[in-house]
Amino acid sequence: MPRLDLKAGEVYRIEGLISLEVKEGKILVSGGLREKGDRITIPRAKSVPLEAETDAQIEYTLGAGGVVEKLPGRTIPSDWDAFLKEVIETRPRVVLVIGSVDVGKTFLTTYFGNRLLAHGIRMAAVDSDVGQADIGPPTTMGLGVFERPVAQLYEVPLRSLYFVGSMSPSGHMLEFIVGMKWLVERGLKYADLVLVNTPGWVAGGAGRSLQLYTAELVNPDYVVALQRQTELEHLLSCLPSHKIRKLTVSAKVRKRNPSERAELRALLLGKYFESAKSVVLNLSKVRFERTYVRTGVPLNPEKFGENILYAERVPEFTILVSKWRMSPKQIEELAAQHGPIKVIVQGEEKNVIVGLASDENEILGLGIIEKIDFARGQMVVTTPVTDVDAIKVVQFGSMKVTREGKEVGTVRPGTF
Ligand SMILES: Nc1ncnc2c1ncn2[C@@H]1O[C@H](COP(=O)(O)OP(=O)(O)OP(=O)(O)O)[C@@H](O)[C@H]1O
Ligand SMILES: [Mg+2]
């Protein structure tokens, strides 16, 4: 096994796959202190700095893609540490981190979490990157509470989840913004300081709204703006200037291309469902959210035709679940008799991703719908959630996925 002797102050970049053990001395990985006997693994395509706090010795094994590279100096810009000093002095409760894609937002959150934890500040992080969430599975936002130093944000233990329903906040702005507030509030119960890591969607009408309403709602003490040039100025001009701290983007950010991102999303989701099993939910014991279905008054399906398995009146229309696809003419005829009609073909619900929550809307985990049997009043979902009796709420998402993590379709939010 290769050994490496480090002199105090030396800096290395390590990229996965690599496993290492500290044999002597003290090192900092992503700003987290590691000592003799500590072991660290960095997965493939992730890169973090390793700094020798004292003279030290490590032993390591490289896997596919693994790199150990000595650098001429630190990868942490000096203004990051100056800001940390200000945080230690002023003790803010909420710090919002904004920046475009690939500027090091997630790394900064990890580094700040580690450094401030070492100063005795109880730290939490809200990860609102719903596509490649580090805290919690894709389609969710997560709250993690730092308990010990971590090399990567995903090692921070998960405390609370909020289901957004898709791999992007697009089309789910309200869920996003409510989830953000919900998680920050929870974070403040467990921690002195909550770091809020936002998605890299910073421009366009929706991107601006997402960032600015988030900033307004969570009311941070500081907004950390990680920008390469001037790409955040249009947002910063709308925020109180005394809260803004512009920090430098590290030259050592490792960028990810779109195919790497898509691969990572599928990998994370597939991994989440690895241990999933089929479970049967009794519809009389769960409530549905984020769908029209089961929010109205049930009707006798027989009066709509022999193909109709289930009928329900909601204020907007009558929902019919049909055994087969109906022609526009048939639907028109029914509408002439009964008013506006919405037909769902049995089986259309298959593969829709759902959030499974407790009565207090605490997300217990995700599920993939196998089927809803309206006649028997049952629903079958694939889920890793083991405490099935605790599931009281099913929140409908807008994506169809397989348990391998493949995206196989979308559904309009609110229906399936
Ligand atoms: N200051 C730094 N020193 C060393 N490595 C860094 C630094 N900042 C970022 N990196 C590395 O660069 C990569 C990309 O950074 P990160 O994931 O934090 O960016 P991001 O802005 O969160 O990206 P995304 O837009 O995908 O959310 C990571 O592997 C991270 O460890
Ligand atoms: Mg990120």
**Of residues 347, 354, 351, 357, the one with CA closest to residue 397:** 354
Q: Which helix (H) or strand (E) holds 183?
A: helix 173-190
CATH no., domain 3-71: 2.60.120.10
* Sheet hosting strand 94-99, strand order edge to edge: 158-163, 140-145, 123-127, 193-197, 94-99, 222-226, 244-247
Query: pLDDT digits over 240-259, tens only?
Result: 999 999 999 999 898 888 88
Count other C-beta atoms under 10 Å from residue 125's C-beta: 31
Query: pLDDT digits over 357-377, tens only?
Result: 999 889 999 999 999 999 899
Relative to the alpha carbon of 99, which ligand is closest?
1
- Determine the distance separating the centroid of ligand 1 and the alpha carbon of 102, expressed in angstroms: 6
Is 70 exceeded by the pLDDT of residue 31? yes
Q: What is the pLDDT of residue 259?
A: 84
Could you tell me what percent of the chain has a pLDDT over 70?
99
Q: What is the mean pLDDT of residues 74-87?
A: 97
Could you tell me what percent of the chain has a pLDDT over 90?
91
Q: What is the pLDDT of residue 263?
A: 82
Atom 3 in ligand 1: which residue has the minimum CA distance? 75
Q: Which helix (H) or strand (E) holds 246?
A: strand 244-247
Query: pLDDT digits over 308-362, tens only?
Result: 999 999 999 999 999 999 999 999 999 999 999 999 999 999 999 999 999 988 9
* Sheet hosting strand 18-24, strand order edge to edge: 3-6, 56-62, 18-24, 39-42
Pocket of ligand 1 from Cβ distances under 6 Å: 46-49, 75-76, 99, 101-107, 129, 200, 250, 252-254, 256
pTM greater than the 0.75 cutoff? yes
Atom 8 in ligand 1: which residue has the minimum CA distance? 104
> From CA 321, how far away is CA 248, in angstroms rounded?
55
Query: pLDDT digits over 279-318, tens only?
Result: 999 999 999 999 999 999 999 999 999 999 999 999 999 9
CATH topology of domain 78-258: Rossmann fold (3.40.50)
Instruction: Pick from 11, 197, 254, 263 the residue to mutate for probing ligand 1's pocket: most ligand atoms within 8 Å of its CB.
Output: 254
CA angle at 291 for the pair 288 and 297, rounded to the nearest 5°: 70
Instruction: Pick from 253, 260, 261, 263 the residue to mutate for probing ligand 1's pocket: most ligand atoms within 8 Å of its CB.
Output: 253
Give the pair of three-digit tokens for residue 119. 């100063």
Atom 15 in ligand 1: which residue has the minimum CA distance? 104
Q: What is the pLDDT of residue 385?
A: 98
Burial call 190-203: b when 16+ CB within 10 Å, e when fewer? bbebbbbbbbbbbe
Q: What is the mean pLDDT of residues 255-282?
A: 90
Strands 308-313 and 352-357, bridge-based pairing: unpaired
> From CA 62, how far away is CA 291, in angstroms rounded?
48
- Determine the distance separating the centroid of ligand 2 and the alpha carbon of 277, expressed in angstroms: 30
Strands 287-289 and 393-401, bridge-based pairing: parallel
Relative to the alpha carbon of 109, which ligand is closest?
1
CB contact at 8 A, 94 and 218:
yes
Looking from the CA of residue 13, the nearest atom of ligand 1 is 4
* Alpha-helix runs per DSSP H in 275-380: 328-338
Chain-centroid distance, C-alpha 262: 14
- Determine the distance separating the centroid of ligand 1 and the alpha carbon of 131, expressed in angstroms: 16
- Determine the distance separating the centroid of ligand 2 and the alpha carbon of 101, expressed in angstroms: 7
Is 80 exceeded by the pLDDT of residue 416? no
Atom 6 in ligand 1: which residue has the minimum CA distance? 253
SS3 state at 230: coil
- Determine the distance separating the centroid of ligand 2 and the alpha carbon of 334, expressed in angstroms: 50
Give the pair of three-digit tokens for residue 276. 């999933």
| Positive or negative: CA dihedral 92, 93, 99, 105 | positive
> Which CATH class, in words, describes the domain spanning 277-410?
mainly beta
Average of per-residue pLDDT values in the chain: 95
Is 70 exceeded by the pLDDT of residue 40? yes
Is 80 exceeded by the pLDDT of residue 182? yes
pLDDT-based confidence at 183, cuts 50/70/90?
very high
pLDDT-based confidence at 414, cuts 50/70/90?
low
Domain spans in the chain, listed from the N-terminal domain onward:
3-71, 78-258, 277-410
Is 90 exceeded by the pLDDT of residue 133? no
Intra-chain end-to-end CA distance of the chain, in Å: 54
pLDDT-based confidence at 208, cuts 50/70/90?
very high
- Determine the distance separating the centroid of ligand 1 and the alpha carbon of 166, expressed in angstroms: 23
